[in-house]
A = this chain, B = another copy of it.
Amino acid sequence: MRRPQIGIMGSSEADDTQRRVAEAAGRAVARAGAALVTGGRDGVMQAAAKGCAEAGGTVIAVTPFAPMEQVNEYTHYVIPTGLGWARNVITAISGDVILVVGGAAGTLSEIAYAWMYDRPIVALSESGGWAKKLAGERIDHRREDCIIDCDDVSKLGPILSELLAKRPLKTIPPVGPDAP
């Protein structure tokens, strides 16, 4: 019953190329039938949300703020955290696939977390930043795979379809460290 969802990481400040790539990536997410998870702010997050929402997709934002209403205008559902930058830990793992556009230090922290928590990562390398620096690289020895380099956002659709087809469908019982 769980639906596919894809996270996008990137800075709240974005240049024109990054906004174009993010918006196209958001559209590709909607066309792949997945919801988009962003950090809810400006820049890459806003452009991706716009692309997804205008293509008919659903947008969920996990924000660093506490108010429900402190979020960009293309967001349908908001998960406020009040955690400041620590919310990066959550955005980084809130997708069956994680996309990276551009990226400064905050995005680097998210790439590291997505890697630790074993999410497939696709770097849209034409957008520069840490997406470009780490495209095709391995972060450490714990994984056999690499960050996938997608050097042209027009090629993103088939990559998403392939990765979503591999996502785990069996569920794990939701019991554990915080029971009861």
Residues of A within 8 A of B (CB): 1-3, 5, 11-13, 35, 37, 40-43, 45, 53, 58, 60, 62-87, 89-90, 93-96, 104-106, 108-109, 111-113, 115-117, 129, 139-142, 167-180
User: Which residues of the other chain, B, contact A64 by a CB distance below 8 angstroms?
Assistant: 176-178
A2, B60: Cβ atoms closer than 8 Å:
no
The 8 Å CB contact of A140, one of B67, B69, B77, B105, is: B105
For the complex of A and B, list the 3 residue pairs with the smallest distance between their C-beta atoms, beginning with the closest: A104-B140, A109-B112, A70-B172
Q: How many identical chains are in the complex?
A: 4
A60, B83: Cβ atoms closer than 8 Å:
no
A86, B89: Cβ atoms closer than 8 Å:
yes
Given A116-B105, A180-B13, A5 contacting B173 (CB threshold 8 A)? no
Q: What's the Cα separation between A77 and B12 when bound, in Å?
A: 24
Known contacts A12-B179, A83-B90, A85-B116, then 10 further A-B pairs from the complex at CB < 8 Å, ordered by chain A residue: A2-B77, A3-B76, A12-B180, A42-B173, A60-B79, A69-B169, A79-B94, A82-B84, A85-B113, A105-B115
Given A116-B105, A140-B105, A174-B41, A81 contacting B70 (CB threshold 8 A)? no
Q: What's the Cα separation between A96 and B113 when bound, in Å?
A: 24
Given A76-B2, A79-B79, A85-B116, A106 contacting B70 (CB threshold 8 A)? no
Given A77-B3, A174-B70, A82 contacting B85 (CB threshold 8 A)? yes
B104, A113: Cβ atoms closer than 8 Å:
no
Closest chain B CB from A45 CB (angstroms):
8
B86, A83: Cβ atoms closer than 8 Å:
yes
A73, B1: Cβ atoms closer than 8 Å:
yes
